[in-house]
Amino acid sequence: MIRLSLIAGALLMSLPAAAQDKPQWTLVIHGGAGVMERAKMTPEREAAARKGLDTALEAGSKVLAGGGSALDAVEAAVKVLEDDPSFNAGRGAVFTYDGTNELDASIMDGATRRAGAVAGVTRTRNPISLARKVMEGSPHVMLAGKGADQFSAEKGLEQVAPSYFATKERRRQLETLKAKKTSWFDIDRKFGTVGAVAMDAKGHVAAATSTGGITGKRWGRIGDSPVIGAGTYADDRACAVSATGAGEYFIRAGVAHEICARVRFKGESLKAAADIVMKETADLGGTGGVILTGPSGEMAWSFNTPGMYRGKVSASGEKVVAIYGDED
């Protein structure tokens, strides 16, 4: 016994410091980035957001602590945020110009690099589960519009009336936007998209993102959230990324894949790669942020907005929930 523990001790000593510290699992989530400033936030709004993020961290960590997969954990965390009307995904999604809710979501498994995505869906309670169904129950990666709604019903996902997604606050935001004729990329915008990235006990990573898009979107506009490589990417050889922000710029910068590529080919830390790519996105005019985790157990986030709804937890670390840029 003593001898065994001596050998184990010797083995441990020979491991690099990073490997010794590697958490058994990690989870990072976001609920959108934007102009979150203390002066502009009501205490109710802040408390609701923090509670929602905390509940999502709980749901995801329960999966991971029980030995579940990163894929199951990111789906579980995102479902909580989709069900929470505080965030722009599922119930509480923003309105299109025509006063409808059209939802986008995507998910990716870093172990196999399989991926699934849906765009412009209108009847599935949890679009993230539909994205997963596309990945696991079809030969495709991305389904859109009517066909995606039909696939969802055929596969038996929970269907809801389109009015389920609508909230008064989001309708007010659409009316304000129409009245002011403000730009869609108004500097004051708060992106409420949700996302999660995780590493499980086997060292596999996964990423998931879900959104209603941007208020007042028209003509079937689709952002980065359901675009694999832009809003979502996961690769065990690098990291898992979920983004939020002005989708058009994230698509042009290929944000999620670009970060993974820098990590994989240049050996950069997740934080360094994310900061560089967010800076490049800002140079194009794009505001927003990303969350990341990798097989090494590193967790990171980066945003070029004043704040981002975000949270993280790991097997060995304390739970953190933050909103403003100067927290954590």
Determine the 3-state secondary structure of 239 from DSSP: coil
Give min distance, CB of 110 to ligand ASP, in A.
21
Over its C-alpha atoms, the chain yields an Rg (Å, rounded) of 19
Active site residue 193: yes
Give min distance, CB of 9 to ligand ASP, in A.
47
Check: CB of residue 310 under 8 Å from CB of residue 31.
yes
Choosing from 26, 122, 124, 193, the catalytic residue is 193
Give min distance, CB of 191 to ligand ASP, in A.
3
Give min distance, CB of 103 to ligand ASP, in A.
10
Q: Which residues bind ligand ASP (CB under 6 A)?
A: 32, 88, 191-193, 211, 213-214, 223-225, 231, 244-245, 247
- Beta strands (DSSP E) in the chain are 26-34, 103-109, 114-121, 142-144, 194-199, 205-211, 232-234, 240-245, 288-293, 299-303, 307-314, 320-324
Give min distance, CB of 248 to ligand ASP, in A.
7
Check: CB of residue 247 under 8 Å from CB of residue 232.
no
Taken as a whole, the chain contains a residue count of 328
Rounded to an integer, what is the distance from CA 143 to the centroid of its chain?
19
Decide whether 71 or 255 has the Cβ nearer to ligand ASP. Answer: 255
DSSP 112: T
Determine the 3-state secondary structure of 24 from DSSP: coil
DSSP string computed for 160-189: --GGGG--HHHHHHHHHHHHHT--TT-TT-
Residues marked active site are found at 193
